[in-house]
Amino acid sequence: MTTTTTSRVRTGARTPTRRHPLGRMVRTEALLLLRDGGTAFFTIFFPAVLLVGLGLLMPWADEPFGEGPELSAITAITGYAPIVLALAVGTAALSTMPTTIGGYREKGVLRRLSTTPMPPSRILLAQILVALGGLSVASVLAVTAGVVVLDISLPTQPGVVLAAFLLGAGAALALGCLIASRAATAGAATAMGMIAWTASMFFAGVWMPLPLMPEVVRTISAYTPIGAASQAMAQGWYGTGVPAHELVVMAVWTGVAVPLAARLFRWS
């Protein structure tokens, strides 16, 4: 045993350990997100600002959300809470994340990473974890602001809402990964993402609340990642029962789209 080793044993000093490559990438991507003021605002703070803004400025905010025993028992702004969370998920998954990876591909960052042992799945996973962390903070801020400022009703089934939010975020980010895996530039990723975002927001009830839409639209919505998330969170917020169909749909989107995105991933 060398003198240096003996000294470490006696003093209890630890040999520095190498951080896991995925952990380093997640930390780097998180710091980059926080340093970009616009991206950080829309990812973390915009849902709370939007929900509070709707509640304070819209004259219908304190009116019943709709007809029937469930919808008439809550205010319109409470009914919009799960829709705002679905909007936040869609924005991060279909706008921010694909544009980031498209920019890396355009600038040659991914080409340089292709010379390392880093597989595409790890790059996509790092983006998913960072986005999921930001969305989790954003959702807590939005719900807290809604309760404190607008007196919105808390979910009747918080476990269902949490499961729907996490599965919805995973499914939407999986769709974002598919876009990011092929988009050659940041501009192309933005264009493709905005097409998917617009369609997803329609089926999530952003333009018109899903309970007020025709049955056929609600049926189609339940098979889309963000539409299923919006419906499942709504059911957990002010409904009854477990939205098993929507939860399964979101799990299938995640399980299929993420491996497919890794397989189709292009470095340049």
The model's pTM? 0.87
pLDDT in tens, 128-159: 999 999 999 999 999 999 999 999 999 999 99
d(CA 98, CA 186): 8
Q: How far apart are CA 253 and CA 174, in angstroms?
A: 7
pLDDT single digits (tens) 177-211: 999 999 999 999 999 999 999 999 999 998 888 88
Return d(Cα 162, Cα 232) in angstroms, integer. 10
The span from the CA of 248 to the CA of 244, in Å, is 6
Q: Residue 143 to residues 47, 65, 172, 211: CA-CA distances in angstroms?
A: 9, 18, 20, 21
Per-residue tokens: 265: 């991933």
